Amino acid sequence: MERILDRQRSILLKANQRDLDVFKNSDQALYDRLIVNDKKIDQMIQAVQEVRMQEDPIDQIIDERILENGLQIINKTAPFGTIMIIYESRPDVTVEAAVLAFKANNKILLKGGKEAYYSNKKLVEFWHQALSESNLSTDCIQFLEMDRIQTQAFLKDPDQQLDLVVPRGGERLIDFVKQHSKCAVLVSGRGNNFMYVSKDADWKMTLEVIVNAKTDKISACNALDKILIDRRIEHYSEKLKELNTLLDSLEVEVIVDQSTSKILEANDVVKGVEQWKEEFLALKCLIGSVSSLDNAIALINEHSGGHSAIIMSSNSEEVHQFMQEVDCAAVYQNASSRFTDGGQMGVGAELAISTDKLHHRGPLGLKQLVTNKYYVFGNGQIRM
């Protein structure tokens, strides 16, 4: 697959251009995720290579013991079986999801969005070519060409074994899959990531982290959306104005809560709970004011997507409390949320960032794309 991707660059780029030419959505984040260029192809090749170089995750011993009755019990990793992933826009997912599933002995059903149809179809053709050249069945990587109605029917009554569904997209997609699927669903949740700026924060560092987390890649689920400033911070009003000016210079639209609007009077005020819960996926953020760490934690746990949260602080006690009590897959001290990524966290290629607590939370890399099985060896034992 690495060789085919490299050799067939021009063919993939032409297929991607067909998708770009017919793209009718005004969603800039969706468009950004759709684009394939030489850099993106290099990243696809690297993802395949990294997975290829990792240890086989299947049949690894998790636990082993011999009971008093002589039974030998071994708990080992095992494949899930058949995994269906439903995703929007990103052709690179077609590469990463397939290589991870293949390496972990799973069958993968790829249901990409219609906006990336030609790119995904070409990538699956590449996969089938790679499998055929290796004398392997192409059945283990399947491209599902279904509309919404057909997908709904398939989830309710699949015509083949289906063990796990991973919806990788927004709230509407996740709700759709949860509503209709008859098998296990592992949620790759939305972002809507928060930062709490403590009274003990390094302000210069805080500004640098905000700029990176908010503007580095607005289409990423690990981008920053909400900033909570502790009113007890020194020169609170001046710092709010400085932050607002900085974000304005970067063309970031800033909305504020009622408390903050007393200082940033020209900014639009947040429109209810919906905007607190919204993942913007745009050059847009919400600045709110809080009276304490407890106040910030409560707001984050009420409104965030459970993805990533940041505390900017040099106070080790409040950092510990924040990290223990905030209910997110990744919690950060003094660092950008943009690191919530399989490659950046050392996991390698990822199927998704899970915000579920079962069976795994965070980047779903190769080692996480397994279940387990108990092997019990005896010589006639019966339970008395």
Q: pLDDT tens digit string along 23-76?
A: 987 788 888 889 999 999 999 999 999 999 999 999 999 999 999 999 999 999
Q: In what order do the strands lie in the sheet with 72-78?
A: 61-66, 72-78, 371-377
Q: pLDDT tens digit string along 266-315?
A: 999 999 999 999 999 999 999 999 999 999 999 999 999 999 999 999 99
Q: How far is the first Cα of the chain from the last one, in angstroms, to the nearest whole number?
A: 55
User: What are the Cα distances from residue 301, in Å, to 27, 31, 193, 194, 326?
Assistant: 28, 30, 11, 10, 6
* Secondary structure, 3-state, 198-246: CCCCCHHHHHHHHHHHHHCCCCCCCCEEEEEEECCCCCHHHHHHHHHHH
Q: Is the pLDDT of residue 343 over 70?
A: yes
Q: Is the pLDDT of residue 88 over 90?
A: no
User: What are the Cα distances from residue 320, in Å, to 37, 233, 316, 326?
Assistant: 42, 19, 6, 10
Residue 348 has a pLDDT of 84
Is this prediction's pTM over 0.85? yes
Q: Which residue has the higher pLDDT, 141 or 183?
A: 141
What is the Cα–Cα distance from 97 to 68, expressed in whole angstroms?
43
**What tokens were used for 228?**
């909570």
Per the DSSP assignment, residues forming a β-bridge with 109 are 84, 142
Residue 81 has a pLDDT of 95
Task: Please give the mean pLDDT across all residues of the chain.
Answer: 94
Residue 356 has a pLDDT of 85
Q: pLDDT tens digit string along 168-221?
A: 877 788 888 989 998 988 887 679 999 999 999 999 999 999 999 999 999 889
- Give the residue-averaged pLDDT of 329-349: 93
Sign of CA dihedral 37, 43, 44, 49: positive
Residue 26 has a pLDDT of 79
Residue 308 has a pLDDT of 97
Residue 189 has a pLDDT of 65
Residue 108 has a pLDDT of 97
- Give the residue-averaged pLDDT of 355-374: 90
Q: Cα–Cα–Cα angle for 153, 157, 158, nearest 5°?
A: 95
Helix, strand or coil for residue 332? strand
Residue 110 and residue 88 in contact, taking contact as beta carbons nearer than 8 Å = no
Bond preceding residue 359 cis, omega within 30 of 0? yes
Q: What are the start-end ranges of the E strands in 305-383?
A: 308-312, 330-333, 353-354, 362-363, 371-377
What are the chain's domains? 2-188+351-376 (3.40.605.10), 193-339 (3.40.309.10)
**What tokens were used for 305?**
């997507």
User: Given the DSSP bridges, would you call strands 72-78 and 184-185 parallel, antiparallel or unpaired?
Assistant: unpaired
